[in-house]
Amino acid sequence: MSTLELRGLTKRFGEIEALNAIDLTVDQGDFCVLLGPSGCGKSTALRCIAGLETITDGDVIINGDRVNEKTPKERGIAMVFQTYALYPHMTVRENLAFPLKMSKMPKDEMEKRVRDAASLLRIEPMLERRPRELSGGQRQRVAIGRAIVREPTLFLFDEPLSNLDAKLRNDMRLEIAALHRRLEATVIYVTHDQVEAMTLGKTIVVMNDGRIEQVGTPDEVYQRPATPFVAGFVGMPAMNFITGEIRNDAFEGNGFEIPVSVDHEGETLLGVRPEDINLGGDHGEGEVEIIENLGADRYAYLKETDTRKRWAVRLNADESVDVGQAVNLSFNVERLHLYADNRRLDVTSSS
Amino acid sequence: MRRVVFTIVIVAVVLFSIGPFMWILNTSLKSPQTIAERPPTIIPDLQTEFFAAAVDEHNFMRYVGNSAIVAGLTTLLAVLVGTLAAYPLARLRMPWRRGILSLVLAASMFPQIAIVGGVYRLLLKLGLLNTHPGLVLPYTALTLPLAIWILTSFFKEIPSDLEDSARVDGCGPLATMWRIFVPVAAPAVFTTAILVFIYAWNEFFFALLIMTDPAVQTLPVGIAKFPGEYMVPWGELAAAAVIATIPLVVLVLVLQRRIISGLTAGAVKG
């Protein structure tokens, strides 16, 4: 059974349409990441699911119940906020116990749950401290603990890691993944960070401008992006695009021709990832402007002399170029992405 | 070297601020014999005669009582109304928010002398001259803009995630207000309360015009009436000034820890 279902979820703030008829189904035990640029509606969607925001149209269904009119508490959800939102005037123990106290749980059961959550998150030594005495990572753990104690049907995370520094973010990411495996909980996780989305998500929902662009596994989203937006948004550095035309089973653009076999003729957008471009060949040329060395990978950024078009290219281990050098490029023709009318063209076979 | 200069500057500033008060304190603790000595003695002979005289002969404690009632009620009212006004101003997405705040501020721009005529006639019609509400009402009106501004800017600093979190944890609007928002906002409320209280405690001009009956007069007016036709009772004046100051000092000392203990420390990344 699906734990969460959104049917035509629409949210308007005055004239602004933040969510436009979202349909989504999330299964029990899924880790569903809502990914998108800021302002795409992902946080609004989460707040609508939580019941913190009224919805303009459509339905939110949790465990088969339509919960549109229910309060956050009645929905059986728990939420972790970007700012942690710990209660500063309460100790860690009181913070953890607060949601249980509000639901009038018997004292011994309450204490047991607080103890369990604290030991799971390794915050037992800090139970008597106040939030201001904790480090960022510890605060984050307490915030997650406060969500766990309620044993909710649905965990909602609103960019929980964006206030942490890079190293801590990595650690917490792994912890959240491990926690999800242990609790076998259903999670909706909002982020704009594609690394978080790719590593944590079982399902990624890419959103843009109040709509869902694609729902898929991390692999599907990366290997077969459904729209040009997804293709350009997922992947670092971003995919390279060339506008051209398909005629007589060949893509023409940028002064070259690649045979493709798709069910389409006319204007087409061709996308190619930096790792699918090799040095040498005749699909493009340019002068190296910048070389970025990330340790494991090196990327060269090129600019074409006459068209001023820019390229991002991942260098193979044995390839080396210098800034200012003119190079030719070729594509890995099995791994091209073709789009027309904002949708992906299925390549039936390639030669 | 920098430490030395720093220390000297600090000492100078403190002396400059506290000097007049120390002088008054010194005077109040002298006896009638030493008070007129020239040159004045630096160390007082620690007599309490003037305190006794101020309390007994000038009905001083009545002024203290009146001031306590007026300042206390003003503080209560200003903080209560101010909080109720500031919360929506800080939280709601509404048009004209800036306009409303500016208007509130504009209300405090008129000098007292410009509005006293109107205020007097109003109170006369309402029959509130020479009553405690007669001072509490204008004081509240005069301190509300300040209270609303301070509280609004403090409230805005409190992340709304806290309230959302409380709602998710099962609090209704009232529980959110009382269990989460008020305790977190307490330093702001106390700061505002102190400022309003000090204003109402010290205010002289309105008090002089509105309270003509000695039975309801407040401290500043009471003290101002000490001088007789032929002599100025410096000792009693000094003693009265000291007594008038003590409640403020105590109030600030008691509440300062709560004010300084950072506003939302630890609630969010800090």
All residues at 6 or more sequence positions from B221 whose CB lies less than 8 Å from its CB, including other chains: B63, B204, B207, B208, B211
Please answer yes or no on whether A98 and B169 come within 8 Å at the CB atom. Answer: yes
DSSP B130: T
Write down the pLDDT at residue A222. 96
Is the pLDDT at B267 greater than 70? The verdict is: no
Are A87 and B162 a contacting pair, CB within 8 Å? yes
Q: What CATH number has the domain spanning B60-269?
A: 1.10.3720.10
| Partners of residue A103 in chain B, C-beta under 8 Å | 170
Q: What is the mean pLDDT of residues B7-23?
A: 93
Write down the pLDDT at residue B264. 45
Give the distance from residue B154's alpha carbon to the nearest chain A alpha carbon, in angstroms: 15
Task: Pick the most confident of A166-175, A213-222, A320-329, B94-103.
Answer: A213-222
Tens of pLDDT, residue by residue over B96-138, are 888 999 999 888 888 889 999 999 999 999 999 999 999 999 9
A81 at B interface, C-beta within 8 A: yes
Give the distance from residue A85's alpha carbon to the nearest chain B alpha carbon, in angstroms: 5
Q: How many CB pairs under 8 A join A and B?
A: 83
Give the distance from residue A129's alpha carbon to the nearest chain B alpha carbon, in angstroms: 11
Please answer yes or no on whether B168 and A77 come within 8 Å at the CB atom. Answer: yes
All residues at 6 or more sequence positions from B9 whose CB lies less than 8 Å from its CB, including other chains: none
A79 at B interface, C-beta within 8 A: yes
| Partners of residue A77 in chain B, C-beta under 8 Å | 168
Confidence of residue B261 (pLDDT cuts 50, 70, 90): low
Picking from B165, B172, B265, the nearest residue to A85 by CB comes out as B165
Tens of pLDDT, residue by residue over A45-82, are 999 999 999 999 999 999 999 999 999 989 999 999 99
| Partners of residue B257 in chain A, C-beta under 8 Å | none
Write down the pLDDT at residue A285. 84
Query: Residue ranges of the domains in chain B?
Result: 1-47, 60-269
A125 upstream amide cis, omega within 30 of 0? no
Q: What is the mean pLDDT of residues A172-196?
A: 92
Picking from B164, B175, B186, the nearest residue to A81 by CB comes out as B164
Is the pLDDT at A203 greater than 90? The verdict is: yes
Tens of pLDDT, residue by residue over A7-38, are 999 999 988 999 999 999 999 999 999 999 99
Give the distance from residue A56's alpha carbon to the nearest chain B alpha carbon, in angstroms: 17
| Partners of residue B175 in chain A, C-beta under 8 Å | 102
CA angle A37, A42, A47 (to 5 degrees): 145
Please answer yes or no on whether A139 and B164 come within 8 Å at the CB atom. Answer: no
Please name the residue of chain B whose CA is at the shortest distance from the CA of residue A130.
B266
Write down the pLDDT at residue B263. 44
Write down the pLDDT at residue B252. 83
Q: What is the mean pLDDT of residues A302-309?
A: 82
Are B50 and B236 a contacting pair, CB within 8 Å? yes
B190-202 burial: b if 16+ Cβ within 10 Å, else e:
bbbbbbbbbbbbe
- What are the structure tokens assigned to A214, written together? 């694609």
Picking from A77, A86, A98, the nearest residue to B267 by CB comes out as A86
